[in-house]
A and B are shown apart, each in its own frame.
Chain A
Amino acid sequence: MKTFTYRTATDVAHGLEPGATFLAGGTNLVDLMKLGVATPDVLVDVTRLGLDEVADLPGGGLRIGAGVRNSDLAADSRVRRDWPVLSQALLAGASGQLRNMATTAGNLLQRTRCRYFMDATMPCNKHEPGSGCPAREGDHRNLAILGASEACVATHPSDMAVALAALDAVVQISGPAGERTVPVTELHRLPGDTPERDTVLEHGELITAVDLPPLGFAARSAYRKVRDRASYAFAVGSVAAAIQVDAGAVTDVRLAFGAVAHKPWRAYTAEEALRGRPATRESFLDAADAELTAARPLRDNAFKVALTRNLVVSVLEGLS
């Protein structure tokens, strides 16, 4: 591991030191440092900034502090009652020990589990721009089917982010140039020619909170995750959904897919296809297909198309 300096930030402004890398729970960053994939010079610990509360927002909704631990957020009674999809997504991730350490911002900003990315001795455009993407011809069973590029086919591995994308959550950011907000759906980028950049965050920008807007029908919402063993494994496919049905017709719906793209994939096309349609299996299948026509699977991950399609149907049928 490379030598680094370590500091604890005590207020937000003070934390924004140029060139610093933020350390939250450390469950992803420290692993990557041990693997030699992340080599920060300065680590600024942001867990003492007091960003660890879940507060009610004036018009309904919640402000989730960047430092709230995944376990605490999953257990929050308001989340469990009004946005069960988020609680379920959190609890489907990692293990109890990891969730006790992992934070809201750290979870959003965790990096891909692409096996080449996580091995510093491998070529990889994401950790060494221009070195190539061996995953495209090599191991990509769990990589992207949507929105990938020649340069990178990585997926974003978070479960929580899929639920937040479905729920129209908004990221609160504080940076050298002031404060701004970005919807979770626009936080992560598609890889394009610059896969080394995961998100639209500029260097030195700190996430301070994630706002969860009120969404009445999210009380009927669910997260379904499929993985290679019963627990403690990243998703090979997942769906977050909330649906409102009135007199047998879909009046509103939120849908997002996990493990299919470089970002949590908000299925806008499917949502559009569903609004106003009867809440039937056929509609759900048509909607899934409308979204998945854009899929460009690789040699070993075509199963994700069928898997995601089935998950959409299964989750929506379960909710309606």
Chain B
Amino acid sequence: MTTTAERAVGQPIGRVEGPDKVRGAARYAAEYPVGDDLAYAWVAQSPVARGTLTDVTVDPLVEADDVLAVLWHGNAPRLAEADDPELAVFQSDRISYRGQALALVVARTLEAARRAAATLQLDIEQEPHDSVLRTDHPELYTPEKVNPNFPSDTASGDVEAALAGAPVTVDVTYRTPPLHNSPMEPHATTALWADDDLVLYDSNQHPPGVAASIGGLFGLPADRVHVITEHVGGGFGSKGTARPNAVLAAMAAKVTGRPVRLALPRQALFSMVGHRTPTIQRVRLAATADGHLTAIDHDVVEQSSRLFEFAEQTAVSTRHMYAAANRRTGHRLVRLDMPTPRWMRAPGEAPGMVALECAMDELAVVLDLDPIELRVRNEPSVEPESGTPFSSRHYVECLRRGAERFGWHDRDPRPKQRREGDWWIGTGVAGATYPTMAQPSTARVRRLSGDSYEVSIAATDLGTGARTILTQIAADALEVPVSQVRMRIGDSTLPRASVAGGSSGSASWGWAVTGACRSLRESGREEATFDSSELIKQQEKDGKHAFGAHFAEVRVDAMTGEVRVSRLFGMYAAGRILNPRTARSQFLGGMIMGMGMALHEESVLDPAQGTWVNHDLAEYHIPVHADIESIEAEWLDEQDDQLNPMGSKGIGEIGIVGSPAAILNAIWHATGVRVRDLPARLDKILPHL
């Protein structure tokens, strides 16, 4: 049977649900028909950043027949204690940020709900607010740990002495703005109670997690909450846990006794569901004259809300990127009257590697050394902080091979040398890394009549191709063609899966699916279930990362400061690539989001109003088609048998790690202008041209 083994994994199979999506047959959370008595909900959000809500009055003229309920903390059902205070909706009179949900109107029609919400009178005692992140904020503190469970501070050797004694140093501060995930499908829930059980059609990245947290709030065991998440139009981390929309819809359905639908409007996605914290990062590097790092210091200042300590792990990738005897990383946090940050694609790595990889470029310039060569000279043999060997690390190969493919060898290192017409042209490079993780999951496989198999796991497909890859993995483990595998995911009642996050979905779910399918095949039974928990518990966690290198060529208009990215190239070493077609999309998508981070994306704070003032996709810019000229991703054939049965590493996030730095470094090379405050808009470049 060896000829049939492994024939599906590695093939560029198209998405199995692709035809349904193209025909509009794929259903999203707000699209399920659930009965004629469906009611619609609309959220009234706080117009102030801090205060208390003392009363809510409904305009009697508006509260016509169509309005079924108006919920707020004065009348809402009490919920059990929430782990995530953002889910304790209407449980207190405190207002913690502008845009927080203060009331919910439930009505027979969407229009009526919306109109009534707009005319609600919210009596608020407003208090002065504080919304500005700064390095001298008196309330900065060191959190106990940063996400998910790293020490906030690490130190070894004597950084100050190394800096003082080094012939070459760099001391730079980079700022990244608040960013919003902005998935195409907004957060949405259709909720209904069937007897005492709760059914939620909900857009999220983790159906079993949502079932457990919503169940907890309403005093139900997780198995009495049925979360259906068949298709998800993106999440980028912002749907990793239950969001307030799920709680509100469930609450409204309970109070009205009807199914209730709540789809958040785009504007609400800019406050209620999470964002990437802004960061202020100081990086100090010390090196010998021949470019060997003697000290690395990465100090991060970032924010969270009054509600919840969300401490992003911004400097964590600095702990394993480069060798240096003296090292320090640290995170300090301030709690502001702003919404709670959450995960956004490569939380920690994406902003952290902007500062580190731009600082490395700045060091290369001071040393008059090629930036690739500088990185190669500081390649560590083991994880510098933990001392753990890498399960595989092909960073140098990515840099070298990438340089070849991109055409780096004859680059003039001096800035502002290439001009074509009005365009200054330059190139830049930056490293990429992302941790390789797997989380416990369980899968079940059943032999169906005929020669097909049903494989079940409560995973979700955010549009990434997860369903397709799991089908391929199952087919190989069963030693059958993919056409004989029916993959069931997106339902909390299926065997428990981990979250679609941390680029760990394919590894975690694929592990469980492989185990179940192999067990069925080997035992010859009709059904088999496999739980990967024990194997994962025994596994070494340190030393496992994907690596990559990003290359960018930009042109900058000498008259206007406009930046265009002529070429963007990524070379990755990310274990075994399970499906080159969907993998390529993940890499390119990450790189494009990296371009957005470098050049376009920014939630603009108005300190006086205590909020971000751009909150739709006309004003919050992400790259459009015309911004993408040449973009390519390639990968090395990396073998690593210490990871999981597939030998795969996560690929969903690494594309956004380092790609912004490559673009910023290219802007410097083109123009001699260092933009250290993202995004690199023309007004930050033009005055220096």
Contacts and interface: CB of A to CB of B under 8 A. Distances in A.
A307 B560 contact: yes
Interface string A125-165: 00000000010011101000000000000000000000000
Contacts of B625: 231
B599 A139 contact: no
Contact of B621 (A115, A138, A233, A310): A233
A202 interface: no
A222 interface: no
A311 B613 contact: no
A230 B626 contact: yes
A229 B621 contact: yes
A119 B613 contact: yes
B623 to A, nearest CB: 6
Contacts of A313: 559
Given A139-B613, A226-B562, A115 B619 contact: yes
B686 A306 contact: yes
Contacts of A1: 111, 114-115
Interface in B586-642: 599-600, 604, 606-609, 613-615, 618-619, 621, 623-627
Interface in A287-320: 300-301, 303, 306-307, 310-311, 313-314
A2 interface: yes
B564 interface: yes
B5 interface: no
B111 A138 contact: no
B47 interface: yes
A122 interface: yes
A139 B681 CA distance: 15
A121 interface: yes
Given A113-B619, A137-B608, A233-B621, A307 B682 contact: yes
B626 A2 contact: no
A97 interface: no
A205 B562 CA distance: 40
Interface string B154-193: 0000000000000000000000000000000000000000
A310 B559 contact: yes
A213 to B, nearest CB: 31
A215 B89 CA distance: 64
Given A141-B683, A303-B682, A307-B686, A314 B608 contact: no
A314 B560 CA distance: 10
Contacts of B624: 229-233
A237 interface: yes
A105 B600 CA distance: 31
Contact of A231 (B607, B615, B626, B681): B626
Nearest to B627: A230
Nearest to A309: B559
B613 A138 contact: yes
A230 B560 CA distance: 13
B687 interface: yes
Given A134-B608, A139-B606, A139-B613, A231 B683 contact: no
B560 A138 contact: no
B118 interface: yes
Contacts of B614: 115, 139
B115 A230 contact: no
Interface residues of B, number: 34
The SS class assigned to the A binding surface is loop
Interface string B46-65: 01000000000000000000
Contact of A139 (B111, B604, B682, B683): B604
A3 B115 contact: yes
Contact of B606 (A138, A230, A237, A311): A138
Contacts of B626: 229-232
B422 interface: yes
A303 B627 CA distance: 23
A196 B128 CA distance: 29
A22 interface: no
B604 to A, nearest CB: 5
Contact of A303 (B47, B562, B564, B687): B687
Contacts of A113: 618-619
Nearest to B98: A121
A214 interface: no
A73 interface: no
A138 B618 CA distance: 19
A303 B683 contact: yes
Q: How large is the interface on A (under 10, 10 to 19, 20 to 34, 35 or more residues)?
A: 35 or more
A137 B608 CA distance: 8
A303 B686 contact: yes
Interface string B547-564: 000000000000111101
Interface in B109-125: 111, 114-115, 118
A134 B686 CA distance: 27
A228 B625 CA distance: 14
B661 to A, nearest CB: 20
Contacts of A228: 600, 621, 681-682
Nearest to A122: B609
Contacts of A300: 683
Contacts of A237: 560
A107 B529 CA distance: 62
A301 B683 CA distance: 8
Interface in B70-127: 111, 114-115, 118
- Which residue, A3, A141, A226, A313, has most C-beta atoms of chain B within 10 A? A226
Interface in A1-23: 1-3
Interface in B424-471: none
A246 to B, nearest CB: 26
A192 interface: no
B114 A229 contact: no
A204 interface: no
B132 to A, nearest CB: 12
Contacts of A233: 621, 624
A228 B599 CA distance: 8
A36 B621 contact: no
A236 interface: yes
A257 interface: no
A83 interface: no
Contacts of B422: 314
A116 interface: yes
A139 B115 CA distance: 29
A229 B599 contact: yes
Contacts of A119: 613, 615
A317 to B, nearest CB: 10
Nearest to B565: A230
Contact of B560 (A120, A139, A301, A311): A311
A320 to B, nearest CB: 16
Interface string A203-230: 0000000000000000000000010111
Nearest to B614: A115
Contacts of A311: 559-560
Contacts of A306: 686-687
A119 B627 CA distance: 28
A143 to B, nearest CB: 12
Nearest to A313: B559
19 contacts: A2-B115, A2-B118, A113-B619, A118-B619, A134-B608, A141-B604, A141-B683, A226-B682, A228-B681, A230-B564, A230-B624, A231-B627, A232-B624, A232-B626, A236-B683, A303-B687, A306-B687, A307-B683, A313-B559
A-B pairs, top 9 by smallest CB distance, nearest first, are A231-B626, A230-B626, A303-B683, A138-B606, A310-B559, A115-B613, A230-B627, A314-B559, A226-B560
Interface of B: 47, 111, 114-115, 118, 422, 559-562, 564, 599-600, 604, 606-609, 613-615, 618-619, 621, 623-627, 681-683, 686-687
Interface of A: 1-3, 36, 113, 115-116, 118-122, 134, 137-139, 141, 226, 228-233, 236-237, 300-301, 303, 306-307, 310-311, 313-314
Given A138-B613, A229-B626, A230-B627, 10 more contacts: A1-B111, A3-B111, A36-B118, A137-B608, A228-B681, A230-B624, A232-B626, A236-B683, A307-B683, A310-B560
